[in-house]
Amino acid sequence: MTGSDRRPVVDLTDEEARLRLPLKWGVPDDVIPAWVAEMDYAVDPVVLEAVQRMLADGITGYPLFGWDPELAQSYAAWSARHFGWAPDPEAVHPVVDVTAGVRLAIDVFSGPGGVVFPTPGYNAQFGLATITGREEVRLDVPVSADRAEVDLDRLDRLFADGAQTLILTQPHNPWGRVFTRAELEGIRDVVVRHGARVVSDEIHAPLVLPGAEHVSYLSIDGTHDHAVAVVAASKAFNTAGLRCAQVVVPSTADRRLLADQPMSRNDSHSPIGAVAARAAYDLGDPWLASLVERLDQQRALLGELLAAHLPEVRMRPLEATYLAWLDASAYGHDDAAGVALERGRVKVSPGESYAPGTTGQVRLNIATSSDRLVEIVERLAKAWT
């Protein structure tokens, strides 16, 4: 896609961001927020226009219950264009959001054994296993590791000890990792050996940056009988508040099982969210291309800024997402996020919420203007050094 085919990414002013992103920007005026996974960019106009048309037409009723053919077909076509692989549209079913979709999948498809959760892990998914009546089994990846990888030998032992499900977050938040096909095949082999299940959270798949390639777990041979993926347009298109994700269920038998669940099992998604998702999948490629280019530039800028101002900070290669996992422990602050807020007036996410028991780690959101990112790192340097 050429530059002339793209729609630009527009930075929000501070005033606009405070209005449009009340959670992220609900901080004192002297604090720069760089924490929760929302972008300081205006919504793609085609998505916004689709939502505005729906409201102008007064369409505010319930969504379709169960399968939504238009949404399913839009996602399947989008996946084919972007990843060279697409599910059968009949496999794609709406859910309220990705975390709810992961919970639904565990509830409906998993056995009673423990749920393996690699950590550092997405903080909103801690406790999902417990909510579904299963034990949460953590597979800790050392925060000191240069490249975060799933320890297959450890995973094998956890399944041998009775765990039955793996929550696979890929691309990974907060690692910023994109798993390779070979890595996914290795995970599949361990899972198949133990007759286990995989729930693959792929919400960040649209945000893979140049130099890496997203491979859906479901595109790997021999996965359809034991896995589902949970996907959404919301993270890439900044529409989390519209409440619509999709669970991809390739097995016909699993789809029948899902269809037999009581209505209360799958909380109702938003019809506005479904319209926004269809617009993003059908018409959002020009804006998404601009976004990925912008995030690639921000990634490069962050590397330059850290080298200049915080050379002792370790950052794993950021292959996807706009969320950088930083190890600032060399500067001697156990609560690096707390020091950043108190001394630097920058709000970042504390690493302890993703990797309990760790110190000196933070997650930094770079989806903002270049000027803000410069100021963020300069403030962090003053706070930490």
Q: What percent of the chain has pLDDT over 90?
A: 92
Please classify residue 268 by burial: count the beta carbons closer than 10 Å to its beta carbon, then call 0-12 exposed, 13-18 middle and 19+ buried: middle
Q: Which of 371, 364, 361, 379 is nearest to 140 (CA)?
A: 361
pLDDT at residue 381 tops 60: yes
* CA of residue 339 relative to chain centroid, distance: 26
Looking at residue 1, what is its pLDDT? 60
Looking at residue 2, what is its pLDDT? 55
Q: Please state which of the ranges 24-33, 61-70, 123-132, 324-333 shows the lowest mean pLDDT.
A: 61-70
Going by DSSP bridges, is the β-strand pair 349-350/346-347 parallel, antiparallel, or unpaired? unpaired
Q: What CATH topology corresponds to 3-44+285-384?
A: Aspartate Aminotransferase, domain 1 (3.90.1150)
Over the chain, what is the mean pLDDT?
95
Question: Which DSSP letter does residue 41 get?
Answer: B
Looking at residue 142, what is its pLDDT? 79
Average pLDDT over residues 102-118: 97
How many angstroms separate the CA atoms of 232 and 235, rounded? 7
Average pLDDT over residues 1-27: 90
Average pLDDT over residues 117-128: 94
Looking at residue 4, what is its pLDDT? 60
pLDDT at residue 147 tops 90: no
Query: Considering the domain 52-283, what is its CATH architecture?
Result: 3-Layer(aba) Sandwich (3.40)
pLDDT in tens, 347-367: 999 999 999 999 999 999 999
pLDDT at residue 124 tops 60: yes
Q: Please state which of the ranges 84-88, 146-150, 310-314 shows the lowest mean pLDDT.
A: 146-150
pLDDT in tens, 177-224: 999 999 999 999 999 999 999 999 999 999 999 999 999 999 999 999
pLDDT at residue 3 tops 70: no
Average pLDDT over residues 306-320: 96
CB 109 within 8 A of CB 197: yes
Average pLDDT over residues 117-121: 95
pLDDT in tens, 20-39: 999 999 999 999 999 999 99
Looking at residue 174, what is its pLDDT? 94
Q: What percent of the chain has pLDDT over 70?
A: 98
CB 128 within 8 A of CB 103: yes
Looking at residue 96, what is its pLDDT? 95
Please classify residue 67 by burial: count the beta carbons closer than 10 Å to its beta carbon, then call 0-12 exposed, 13-18 middle and 19+ buried: middle
pLDDT at residue 143 tops 80: no
Question: Which DSSP letter does residue 374 get?
Answer: H
| Residue with token string 């890496």 | 212
pLDDT in tens, 41-85: 999 999 999 999 999 999 999 888 888 999 999 999 999 999 999
Comma-separated ranges of CATH 3.90.1150.10 domains in the chain? 3-44+285-384
Comma-separated ranges of CATH 3.40.640.10 domains in the chain? 52-283
Half-sphere exposure of 107 (CA within 13 A, CB side): 17
Average pLDDT over residues 252-272: 91
Please classify residue 28 by burial: count the beta carbons closer than 10 Å to its beta carbon, then call 0-12 exposed, 13-18 middle and 19+ buried: exposed
